[in-house]
Amino acid sequence: MAATGRLLISTILLVFTFRSCLSLFYGGNTYKRKLFVQLNPNSSSLPRGGELLHVRAVGQNDTLHYLFCSQGAPTLLLVHTNSSSSTVKVNWSQFSSRNTSGSLTVEPESSILYSSAVVFSRLWEYDDVNNTAEASSDLLPPHELQDFSWSLFNLSGATSLLCGAPSDSTNGSLCLQLSVFDSEGRNKLWPRLLHSANSSQVEVWLNGILPRSNASRFVLELQAVSGTYPLSRVDTRQSIDDEYTPSIFKMFQWVSSINGSSDILGFVQWKPVAYRKSHPVLEDATPCRHSDPDSQNGEETAALSALIRGFYSNPEVMGMNVSFGMAGEPFYNSTMFLSWTMLVGVGSPPVDSFSPLVLAIMAVCLGAPVILLLLGGVFVFLYKRRHATVTAYERIN
Amino acid sequence: MADFEERRGLLGDEAEGSSTGRKADRGPGRPLAAICDPSHFLHRVVVLVFMCFLGFGSYFCYDNPAAETAAVQSEVSDLNLNTAKFMQLYAWYSWPNVVLCFFGGFLLDRVFGIRLGTIIFSLFVCVGQVIFAAGAWTNHFWLMEAGRFVFGIGGESLAVAQNTYAVNWFKGKELNLVFGLQLSMARLGSTVNMNIMGWVYSKVALAVGSSGHTALGVSLMIAGGTCVFSLICALVLAFLDKRAERILQKEQGKTGNVIRLTDVKDFPLTLWLIVAICVCYYVAIFPFIGLGQVFFIEKFNFSPAQARAVNSIVYIISAPASPILGFVVDKTGRNVVWVITAVVATLAAHMMLAFTFWNPWIAMSLLGVSYSLLACGLWPMVAFVIPEHQLGTAYGVMQSIQNLGLALFAMAAGAIVDSNGYLVLEVFFCACVCVALIAAVMLYLVDYLKGGDLNRTAAARAKLQKEDSPESE
């Protein structure tokens, strides 16, 4: 019994130590930013070739500039400055002609701490006749996202929606929804990634785009651009906690660091899951995989996107493919919908922690038997003593 | 399978007393060859073989849903099943037994007789499995549920019948060995099922040319073959039993289960605590095994074959561990301490699965040992707290509540996975085990105040018995 009690107590201690460790990571992160949303900064008319969204997330002594642009392939640029008064300047005629760098600048330039961008360059489609989910052969000509006809931004608060369709088709669309956050939290819909004030979330979905074969699967090509430290490696983080994204126990983060050290400057983070419906339940989940990042020609990427051309003079580019579906899983044709979510941010990626529900249940459930054991032990002890005195009394009698 | 088998040993003892079968001298006639002679050991061995395989089919098919789902993960989406719906297949098995636990013995004794009753229950198992398979084949989920319901009507009662046959043929002879063999056979059925159905499915999928619900239906039909086999065993047993009755002039076996619901109000607090332990403990075991395979694939990146293997280790360990641990508990006594130990070990195993990435072989082996230990410690305690003439009712109540708990918790477990994932599920199971632990500790305290009957050492029990017996004489 005593051994049992000790075991329980040590387990409880373990859980609480674990919890306090987590809160060290987590509890301090109540940082808040002020958000300012601006469409096509200092442009008097609607720019030709696509819009530019600028969200300024101002902190106490730093600013995050989120720039999201549909000129060419959709691109999200994130610039971190150490001043709360830094600004973005755009020379619109140069920017739209897409042939010189320096048409978009963040001023003062010396305040820039870090910048990186993600270009959504291509959507590959392949005919998975043998149902292997290997995109090695049978690749159909890719959808070049720079050739899509993109809608105007649909803004609501700090969330903006951009949809586009292949220019030769009116059916269906590929949509990108950017959400910028002023504080920590998570979305209601799966995968419910934990975001901080230092990250934004991009949800990509295909809705009704006509597949070109009966067994189509899709692969999304991403290019990560930065000036100095490229997003060079993908870290895998195992998590015991799948309460926010049921049955997913992994997190991938594509990070940029100084010479491979553990200090992370910026990241793209996602869970290996996509969903086949817009309001998914568990059986609509489909796994996704990624290729190893490899370096790309910066000039080609700059040619794809006005934002990259305008901001970076000498872009360092890493490319990666994210493929959706697994052998034996239903094809895209079954629902004609596919959505995938990622975070883009600066600094260390957010770390999940147990929800209060889990902690409360464990604390109560482990605590109750221990308390019962202690009370019971005391009770038995007192009972024994009383009993002993009674018998002693009788014996004397 | 609601752990009916663990209590057979006890039921057996009880049935032994009440069963009225008596040996008569062999009637006049030509002498029989040993293997055909119902009173000869060799003949009983033949009967034993049929007896063991009588339950094989139902044990084999009970965990079919789990085995099949892990075989091909996408099957869940082939059938458009979410986890909650999938777990309903288990719940539907339990529902009829909430009521049938009370009437199974009555039906066997008074209505059908053991032979006809066994055949009828085997038929239920067969028909249930065929309906289940047909439901999968035609992709109608409600039909699959109906199949599981019919299967459930037969399954548990068949176990009672098997038990009665064993007592009838082996009482006063090799009864404990027979119970042990039947238990191992049940475990074997579950284990073989978990490890072979994936293979059957993939072969069928190849032959049929698609891996959809058709292949699933066909492979479930093939699994149903074991039920037909069991039905044949039931028929053969009925024939042999009838023949033995004619030759030996003995009576049909009786379960001896007399259920009087009015007894319930006299049950002591200790019994209700035992019931609480039983329900809270088993709901953290059986629904978990139903869901376990997908969990191991998702969390620990196991292949389906590995996941099936690690999931069936609980049953594999339990087959040899049950008799060994039973012996240990018998020799040492102190049942409550053993139960508390088993519950704590189970809690540790569940916490390992929930909060670590340690190899699940460790946790599942621990679970297998503690599960066997609990069965050995817990079920005999009922006989200590309940007078013998009320044992049938007590077991009926326990099984009924346990089936109710299993049905409800199976559905709850499925819904939890669907909305909150496996961590919350494991935390939920930990909570159940903790409630069982609280009940076990309370049992210890209540028993202590009552004088410590349950927690005596075996030596003290023997001494007490010796002291008692001269007085009663």
Q: What is the pLDDT at residue B123?
A: 92
Q: What is the pLDDT at residue B252?
A: 66
User: How confident is the model over A171-187, as pLDDT tens digits?
Assistant: 889 999 999 999 888 88
Of A7, A247, A366, the CB nearest to B422: A247
- Give residue B448's Cα distance to chain centre: 31
Sign of CA dihedral B47, B322, B338, B162: negative
* Chain A residues within an 8 Å CB radius of B420: 243, 246
Map residue A264 onto helix, strand or coil.
strand
Using a pLDDT cut of 90, give the percent of chain A over it: 37
User: Could you tell me which residue, B86 or A85, shows the higher pLDDT?
Assistant: A85
Q: What is the pLDDT at residue B105?
A: 73
Q: What is the pLDDT at residue B346?
A: 95
Q: What is the pLDDT at residue A393?
A: 52
Q: What is the DSSP string of A208-224?
A: SPPPSSTTEEEEEEEEE
| CA gap A192, A375 in Å, rounded | 42
ipTM: 0.82
Map residue A22 onto helix, strand or coil.
helix
Q: What is the DSSP letter of A18?
A: H
| CA gap A307, A98 in Å, rounded | 9
Distance from CA of A222 to the nearest CA of B (A): 26
Q: What is the pLDDT at residue B332?
A: 85
Distance from CA of B425 to the nearest CA of A (A): 9
Task: Please indicate whether, in this complex, the C-beta atoms of B444 and A376 are within 8 angstroms of each other.
Answer: yes
| CA gap B355, A362 in Å, rounded | 11
Q: What is the pLDDT at residue A4?
A: 45
Q: In whole angstroms, how large is the CA radius of gyration of chain A?
A: 27
Of B298, B337, B428, the CB nearest to A247: B298
Distance from CA of B216 to the nearest CA of A (A): 15
Mean pLDDT value of segment A107-126 = 91
Q: Would you give per-residue pLDDT tens digits along chain B (473 residues)?
A: 444 444 444 443 433 333 333 333 444 455 667 777 777 888 888 888 888 888 888 888 887 877 666 544 444 444 456 777 888 888 888 888 888 877 777 777 778 888 888 899 899 999 999 999 998 888 888 898 899 999 988 888 888 788 778 877 877 666 667 777 777 777 788 888 878 887 888 888 888 776 677 888 888 888 888 899 999 999 999 998 888 888 877 666 666 666 677 777 888 899 999 999 999 999 999 889 888 888 998 899 888 888 888 988 988 888 888 878 888 888 888 889 999 999 999 999 999 999 999 999 999 999 999 998 998 888 888 888 888 777 777 878 888 888 899 889 988 998 898 888 899 999 999 999 999 999 999 999 888 888 877 878 777 877 777 776 554 43
| CA gap A225, A79 in Å, rounded | 12
Using a pLDDT cut of 70, give the percent of chain A over it: 90
The pTM (predicted TM-score) of the whole model is 0.82
**Both tokens assigned to A55:** 């969200």
Q: Chain A residues contacting B, CB < 8 Å?
A: 1, 4, 7-8, 11, 15, 18, 238, 240-249, 281-283, 328-330, 354, 357-358, 361-362, 365-366, 368-369, 372-373, 376, 379-380, 383
| CA gap B2, B287 in Å, rounded | 11
Q: How far apart are the first and last CA of chain B?
A: 42
Q: What is the pLDDT at residue B338?
A: 92
Q: What is the pLDDT at residue A380?
A: 83
Distance from CA of A375 to the nearest CA of B (A): 10
Q: What is the DSSP letter of A49?
A: T
Of A246, A380, A383, the CB nearest to B421: A246
Nearest CA to A57 among A228, A229, A179? Answer: A179
**What average pLDDT is seen over chain A?**
85
User: How confident is the model over A125-157, as pLDDT tens digits?
Assistant: 998 888 888 877 678 888 999 988 899 999 988
Omega of the bond prior to A191 within 30 degrees of 0, cis? yes
Which residue's structure tokens are 């709360």? A84
Q: Which amino acid, B263?
A: D
Which residue's structure tokens are 């000869």? B40
Q: What is the pLDDT at residue B109?
A: 75
User: How confident is the model over A5-64, as pLDDT tens digits?
Assistant: 444 444 444 444 444 444 444 444 568 899 999 988 888 788 888 889 999 999 988 999
Which H, E and C letters describe chain B, residue by residue?
A: CCCCHHHHHHHHHHHHHHCCCCCCCCCCCCCCCHHHCCCCHHHHHHHHHHHHHHHHHHHHHHCHHHHHHHHCCCHHHHCCCCHHHHHHHHHHHHHHHHHHHHHHHHHHHHHHCHHHHHHHHHHHHHHHHHHHHHHHHCCCHHHHHHHHHHHHHHHHHHHHHHHHHHHHHHCCCCHHHHHHHHHHHHHHHHHHHHHHHHHHHHHHHHHHCCCCHHHHHHHHHHHHHHHHHHHHHHHHHHHHHHHHHHHHCCCCCCCCCCCCHHHHHHCCHHHHHHHHHHHHHHCCCHHHHHHHHHHHHHHHCCCHHHHHHHHHHHHHHHHHHHHHHHHHHHHHECHHHHHHHHHHHHHHHHHHHHHCCCCHHHHHHHHHHHHHHHHHHHHHHHHHHCCHHHHHHHHHHHHHHHHHHHHHHHHHHHHHHHHHHHHHHHHHHHHHHHHHHHHHHHHHHHHHHHCCCCCCEHHHHHHHHHHHHHHHC
| CA gap B382, B384 in Å, rounded | 5
